[in-house]
Amino acid sequence: AQKITQTQPGMFVQEKEAVTLDCTYDTSDQSYGLFWYKQPSSGEMIFLIYQGSYDEQNATEGRYSLNFQKARKSANLVISASQLGDSAMYFCAMRENDYKLSFGAGTTVTVRA
């Protein structure tokens, strides 16, 4: 069974607008971590944001925020005020068993001027 599901293979967003990337996860663990990574066309994996399962507040990092809904097992990424440099593939990942990351299939975001 898929542990991380990203249902949007590709999205277009207008520059300066916000975009929400969906991520749902499946785990029976009580303690886990959720991550978002950005992969631009150059290929590297850039860490964006982290949410722990026990964190009560939604994580924020600059223009990135994570909408964590534990009961629904969702961890959506919101990018506010999109910029052209935000065009990339975005991966949601979950850490269980203390270290192993499981990744979703990714969502490609294209920002239009």
Q: Under a CB-based contact definition with an 8 Å cutoff, are residues 21 and 90 in contact?
A: yes
Asked if 56 interacts with another protein (CB under 8 A), we say no
CB of 17 to another protein, least distance (A): 26
Cα 16 to Cα 13, 39, 80, 86, distances in angstroms:
9, 20, 7, 11
Q: Given the complex with another protein, which of 42 and 113 has the nearer CB atom?
A: 42
Residues 5-34 that bind another protein (CB under 8 A): 33
Going by DSSP bridges, is the β-strand pair 107-112/10-14 parallel, antiparallel, or unpaired? parallel
Residues 6+ apart with CB under 8 A from 7: 22, 24
Site for another protein (CB under 8 A): which residue of 47, 60, 70, 84?
Answer: 47
95 binds another protein (CB under 8 A): yes
Please give the Cα distance from 45 to 37 (Å, whole number): 6
- Indicate whether 46 belongs to the interface with another protein (CB under 8 A): yes
Q: Does 60 bind another protein (CB under 8 A)?
A: no
Tell me which residues touch another protein (CB under 8 A): 4, 33, 35, 37, 42-47, 50, 91, 93, 95, 98-106
